[in-house]
C-alpha cells in the first residue's frame, strides 16, 4: 500500500468534519478524508423542484457536510437530546463537549441567537404537557437554517484544506482493513488500498448498513437501536405557535394508550416546508426551514419507536419495507388529510383541495396511509395527535396533513469504549451511522472525542 496516512476519516458529515478539525490542529500529521457523495457546490436535489428520482447517491444524504448540509440545521445544546454520547463519556464530560462544539459552530458562522423559554414559560409549558400526559424536554437550540448551513460547512472545508488535510469526494470505501487486531487502512471501491495508523468511521445514517457489515466482518459486537417509523405532520403555523414561539422546537414524548409504545416529536420546523430524502431504493419524507424565507405552515415528525428482540436482527430492513410500500402506492411520498384518515377513506385531489393546508411538498400523492402503516404505529400516531391538540388546539383538525412515511434508522450500535474506539485497535466509530448520535451537535461532539483519541494514539506510537 503505497499511500500511507496517519489517519483516514470515512465520511464528511459533521462527525467526520469535527474529527478532522481536531486532528488538523496537530502539526505534522498526514490526514485524508473520504466521502462517497459529491462536493458541496455540486450537490443538488431534483426533489426540491420536481420529484425524487432515486439518485444512486442521494445528494441530500451524502456529500460534503453530510445530511446536515441540507437539513434544518438545528444545533440542540441540551445533552439529553440528540444521541447517546453521554453513555460513553459521562454526563459531566458531555456538557463540556457540547459547549466546545457550540463554540466551533459559532466560529464558522452559526447564528448567535439561542432559542429557549424563560423560566416562567418553561414551567407553564411543562405543567401543561404533564396534565396532557406528555413529557416536554426544555432545550436550548441554535438554528442555522437550510440556507445558512452550506455556508458554514463550506467555511469548515476551506480551513481543513488550508491546514493540509486531503479531501476526496466521490470516493467510496469498500472495506476497512485490519491485521492482527489492529486497523491497517481501507480498500476503496476501485480496489486500491490506503494504509493508516488510525481510521475514524463516520459514514452517517446513509452508511449505517455498510458500517454494520464491516463491524460483523471485523468481529466487532453490535447491538440494535430502535428504528423510528411515523409520519410528518403539516399544519398552519399559528396552530403550533403556543409551543414554537417559546421553544422553536417542542420535544414531546408520549406513551400510547393502546400499546404503551414510545411516541415522540422530531425535527419541528416552524414556517418550514416538507421535503424528501432517499435511502438507496426508497424515498422517505423529512422537513426543514430556512433562516430567512418563511412559509405559512409548521411541520414535524411523529415517530413510534420500535425495538426488536431476538431472533429478529434487521430493523433497517423492516423500516425500508414499510417505506418501499408507501413508494409503491404513491410513486414516492403519500399525503393524507387527517380527517380522511379518521373517516377510513383515502384522500383524493378533490378532498385535498378542500383543506385549508396546501401541501408544501406538491409532488406527494394523495392516498391512504392506513394501507401502508402498521396498525400499531398508526394507532399510536393518532393517539399522540389527539393528545397534542390539548397543547396546540387545532393540530387535530381534519385539514391537517400527514405525509408518509418517515423512517429514522438508528439500528447498528457498535461496541465502543470511552474513546469511541472499537475492539479493533486504531478503529474508531462516530456519529449517527455508528449509533452514537442522532443530531448535529452530538454527532459533531463525537468527532471531537475521536479526534482527540486518535491524537493520543498516534503520540503513543511515535
Q: Residue 453: give its domain's CATH number.
A: 3.50.50.60
Q: pTM of the predicted model, to two decimals?
A: 0.83
Q: Is the pLDDT of residue 403 over 90?
A: yes
Among residues 257, 291, 256, the alpha carbon closest in space to that of 272 is found at 291
**What is the grid cell recorded at 420?**
469511541
* Residue 389 and residue 419 share a domain: no
* Residue 174 and residue 270 share a domain: no
pLDDT per residue as tens digits for the range 275-323: 998 877 889 999 998 878 899 999 999 999 887 776 776 777 888 899 9
* Residue 216 and residue 254 share a domain: no
Among residues 49, 277, 355, 143, the alpha carbon closest in space to that of 287 is found at 277
* Residue 424 and residue 364 share a domain: no
Residue with the three cell numbers 412559509: 295
Residue with the three cell numbers 464530560: 93
- CA–CA dist 281, 56 (Å, integer): 8
In a domain, 34, yes or no: yes
pLDDT per residue as tens digits for the range 4-37: 999 999 999 999 999 999 999 998 999 999 999 8
Q: Is the pLDDT of residue 1 over 50?
A: no
167, 16 contact by CB (below 8 A): no
Mean pLDDT computed over every residue of the chain: 91
* Residue 369 and residue 268 share a domain: yes
Query: Which of 386, 409, 432 is the endpoint of a domain?
Result: 409
* Residue 385 and residue 244 share a domain: yes
In a domain, 129, yes or no: no
Within the chain, what is the greatest distance between any pair of CA atoms? 71
* Residue range(s) defining the domain that contains residue 364: 227-409
In a domain, 94, yes or no: yes
* Residue 428 and residue 321 share a domain: no
How much is the pLDDT for 45?
A: 64
- CA–CA dist 221, 116 (Å, integer): 39
**What is the grid cell recorded at 339?**
380527517
How much is the pLDDT for 54?
A: 63
Give Cβ neighbours of residue 48 (< 8 Å, ≥ 6 apart).
Answer: 275
pLDDT per residue as tens digits for the range 190-239: 999 999 999 999 999 888 889 999 999 999 998 876 789 999 999 999 99
pLDDT per residue as tens digits for the range 343-354: 999 999 999 998
SS3 382: helix
In a domain, 435, yes or no: yes
In a domain, 375, yes or no: yes
- CA–CA dist 247, 273 (Å, integer): 18
* Residue 247 and residue 183 share a domain: no
Percent of the chain with pLDDT over 90: 72
In a domain, 293, yes or no: yes
**What is the grid cell recorded at 255?**
406513551
Determine which of 103-107, 138-142, 277-281 has the lowest per-residue pLDDT on average: 277-281
| Strands 135-137 and 31-35, bridge-based pairing | unpaired
CA atoms within 13 A on the CB side of 189: 9
How much is the pLDDT for 324?
A: 92
* Residue 55 and residue 92 share a domain: yes
Terminal Cα distance for the chain, rounded: 20
Query: Which of 367, 385, 409 is the endpoint of a domain?
Result: 409
Rg of the chain over Cα atoms, rounded to whole angstroms, equals 22
* Residue 325 and residue 196 share a domain: no
Cα distances (Å, whole numbers) of residue 417 to 36, 52, 426 = 27, 39, 12
pLDDT per residue as tens digits for the range 44-80: 666 555 566 666 666 566 788 876 656 668 899 999 8
Cα distances (Å, whole numbers) of residue 306 to 2, 318, 319, 336, 409 = 46, 10, 10, 23, 11
318, 305 contact by CB (below 8 A): no
Structural domains counted in the chain: 2
Q: Is the pLDDT of residue 117 over 70?
A: yes
315, 224 contact by CB (below 8 A): yes
* Residue 231 and residue 351 share a domain: yes
In a domain, 216, yes or no: yes
In a domain, 338, yes or no: yes
- CA–CA dist 220, 216 (Å, integer): 6
* Residue 212 and residue 89 share a domain: yes
Higher-scoring residue by pLDDT: 151, 347: 347
Q: Is the pLDDT of residue 177 over 50?
A: yes
Amino acid at each position: 500500500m503505497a499511500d500511507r496516512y496517519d489517519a483516514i476519516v470515512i465520511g464528511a458529515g459533521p462527525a467526520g468534519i469535527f474529527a478532522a478539525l481536531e486532528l488538523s490542529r496537530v502539526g505534522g500529521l498526514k490526514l485524508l478524508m473520504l466521502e462517497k457523495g459529491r462536493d458541496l457546490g455540486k450537490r443538488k436535489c431534483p426533489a426540491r423542484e420536481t420529484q425524487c428520482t432515486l439518485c444512486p447517491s442521494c445528494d441530500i444524504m451524502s456529500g460534503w457536510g453530510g445530511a446536515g448540509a441540507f437539513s434544518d440545521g438545528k444545533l440542540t445544546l441540551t445533552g439529553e437530546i440528540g444521541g447517546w454520547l453521554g453513555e460513553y463519556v459521562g454526563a459531566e464530560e458531555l456538557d463540556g463537549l457540547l459547549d466546545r462544539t457550540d463554540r466551533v459552530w459559532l466560529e464558522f458562522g452559526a447564528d448567535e441567537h439561542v432559542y429557549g423559554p424563560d423560566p416562567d414559560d418553561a414551567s407553564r409549558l411543562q405543567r401543561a404537557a404533564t396534565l396532557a400526559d406528555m413529557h416536554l424536554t426544555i432545550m436550548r437550540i441554535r438554528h442555522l437554517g437550510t440556507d445558512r448551513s452550506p455556508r458554514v460547512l463550506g467555511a469548515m472545508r476551506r480551513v481543513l484544506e488550508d491546514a493540509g488535510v486531503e479531501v476526496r469526494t466521490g470516493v467510496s470505501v469498500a472495506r476497512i482493513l485490519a491485521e492482527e487486531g489492529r486497523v491497517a487502512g481501507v480498500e476503496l471501491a476501485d480496489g486500491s488500498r490506503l494504509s493508516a495508523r488510525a481510521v475514524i468511521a463516520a459514514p452517517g445514517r446513509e452508511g449505517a448498513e455498510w458500517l454494520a457489515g464491516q463491524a460483523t466482518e471485523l468481529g466487532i459486537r453490535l447491538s440494535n437501536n430502535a428504528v423510528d417509523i411515523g409520519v410528518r405532520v403539516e399544519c398552519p403555523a399559528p396552530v403550533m405557535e403556543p409551543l414554537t414561539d417559546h421553544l422553536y422546537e417542542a420535544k414531546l414524548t408520549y406513551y400510547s394508550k393502546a400499546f404503551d409504545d414510545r411516541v415522540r416529536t422530531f425535527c419541528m420546523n416552524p414556517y418550514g416546508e416538507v421535503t424528501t430524502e432517499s435511502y438507496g431504493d426508497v424515498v422517505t419524507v423529512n422537513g426543514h426551514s430556512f433562516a430567512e424565507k418563511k412559509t405559512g405552515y409548521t411541520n414535524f415528525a411523529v415517530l413510534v419507536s420500535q425495538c426488536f428482540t431476538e431472533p429478529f436482527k434487521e430493523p433497517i430492513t423492516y423500516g425500508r419495507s414499510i417505506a418501499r410500500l408507501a413508494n409503491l402506492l404513491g410513486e414516492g411520498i403519500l399525503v393524507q388529510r387527517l380527517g380522511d384518515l379518521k373517516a377510513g377513506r383515502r384522500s383524493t385531489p378533490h378532498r385535498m383541495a378542500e383543506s385549508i393546508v396546501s401541501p408544501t411538498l406538491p409532488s406527494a400523492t394523495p392516498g391512504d396511509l392506513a394501507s401502508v402503516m402498521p396498525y400499531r404505529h398508526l394507532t399510536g400516531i393518532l393517539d399522540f395527535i389527539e393528545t397534542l391538540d390539548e397543547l396546540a388546539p387545532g393540530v387535530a383538525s381534519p385539514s391537517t396533513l400527514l405525509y408518509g412515511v418517515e423512517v429514522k434508522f438508528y439500528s447498528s450500535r457498535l461496541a465502543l469504549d470511552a474513546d469511541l474506539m472499537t475492539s479493533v485497535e486504531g478503529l474508531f466509530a462516530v456519529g449517527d451511522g455508528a449509533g452514537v448520535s442522532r443530531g448535529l451537535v452530538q454527532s459533531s461532539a463525537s468527532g471531537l472525542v475521536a479526534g482527540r483519541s486518535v491524537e493520543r494514539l498516534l503520540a503513543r506510537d511515535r
